[in-house]
Chains A and B, each alone.
Chain A
């Protein structure tokens, strides 16, 4: 909230000083919003919500306000609330808020809470209207990682650089932190939890081949915490680096994308009177997706997504998650969309234990999802 106040105060000050540089059509406050309602039902395994019995706990709402203060400076924020199974519970939060100064096309700076540029779609993962599918490939864009991967509070540098015959470069880099909460459990009480830093960036090359862009993303960060476990103090430090290679090809109504990522983490646990113990882990994730707009109002899509949470333990249903999905998006009106989607799943690596406590998990299972969104 302190960051928010600083950003808006500076914005208001600069606005009063320089707003006369813009035509009124550009300097007007822009308000945009969306409301979504979805449904999930699975043949086995509760996924994201209590999906086995069918769940409507799949709602989102957001409202964004933006004001262009002069030709280089913009300020804005978005309030976002969601309910997805046990998470969200309609608690409205600032999704992002930022003061954005675009000094040159090749260099701008954003200060505040900004969405993380990671891969092709991470910073738009909540924006149903921007995608053909209900659930983006969960191997890379897991909704359960939203608290880690969505946004950071700090500084972001960005730019766009045409390269003549070689196309153009779009780049972003950031450094900051984020607020992260873990609830107490009967055996674990949280004393302190911090995110000392999160840093990363993304470079996308818009190649000379029409419609083809390729790029790479990096994200690194740490989480430290002090806990009381069964009456004994425990310290934890998690360090993780994640890399993602991206490719997207657009030709008329066809969009094809593929991404491949690796994540490496070290988790160090220190217990009173015992030496620190570090556990390394490495995961692998990938997907390929294609969509084709048959007409302005209908767009089928399909993807195949695969994740190995631990590359040293790929075997068994918990060691992997295969997800073959097919989806259709209907643009009923320019502001109202409906999506229907089916998933054929193999493995349970993405199934949350807390939603399935005490229940046997199935290796092969199916998920159907529907979502409708109104946006303006």
Chain B
């Protein structure tokens, strides 16, 4: 009975860890596997995706990557982390683009592309749905 019990405990623990890593709205924030960050504040992530903050703590550039505007995971991320809908975020970027103050993060087509981008670029940060299998990147809990 001990082995099954251990498995139950491990599975339960893994489930808890996953729940912590989930940032809300069924979305997980992911960073490059080499990124030393173990936890991020919701405000930091929002600032990173709105490019108000552009540097990690060690001064490396933050490289956010977005999903396409019609992707359901982007809508959930936008609501739960940026606290505005995708249309409002589009308006935010229209203001910056056409006034010469910034350009939006690159957009990729699907979650596999997000993971590939984050795995390839040391300063990258992205998001995927909580159920997506992660390879070469790590999920960061949002405190």
Residues of A bordering B, CB below 8 Å: 21, 23, 25-26, 30, 32, 34, 62, 64, 66, 68, 71-72, 74, 76-78, 96-98, 100, 102, 104-105, 110, 114-115, 123-124, 126-127, 129-130, 160, 162, 168, 170, 210-211, 250, 253, 293, 296, 331, 334, 375
Contact = CB atoms under 8 A, between A and B. Distances in A.
28 contacts: A23-B63, A23-B121, A25-B108, A25-B117, A26-B106, A32-B98, A62-B98, A64-B97, A68-B103, A71-B123, A72-B61, A77-B100, A105-B52, A105-B53, A105-B55, A110-B100, A115-B101, A123-B101, A124-B95, A126-B98, A127-B95, A127-B99, A129-B90, A160-B53, A162-B53, A334-B69, A334-B87, A334-B90
B33 to A, nearest CB: 16
Contacts of B47: 160, 162, 168
Interface of B: 43, 47, 52-55, 61, 63, 65, 69, 83-85, 87-88, 90-91, 94-95, 97-103, 105-106, 108, 117, 120-121, 123-124
Contacts of B105: 26
Contact of B63 (A26, A76, A123, A375): A26
Nearest to B98: A127
A280 to B, nearest CB: 33
A130 B54 contact: no
B94 A130 contact: yes
Contact of B99 (A105, A123, A334, A375): A123
B91 A130 contact: yes
Indicate the member of A32, A126, A130 with the most B CB atoms within 10 Å: A130
Given A25-B117, A130-B91, A100 B100 contact: yes
Contacts of B102: 74
Nearest to B75: A296
Q: Is the interface of A mostly helix, strand, loop or mixed?
A: strand
Contacts of B88: 293
Contacts of B99: 96, 115, 123-124, 127
Given A23-B63, A23-B120, A26-B106, A296 B95 contact: no
A211 B84 CA distance: 10
Contact of A64 (B61, B65, B98, B117): B98
Indicate the member of B65, B101, B123 with the most A CB atoms within 10 Å: B101
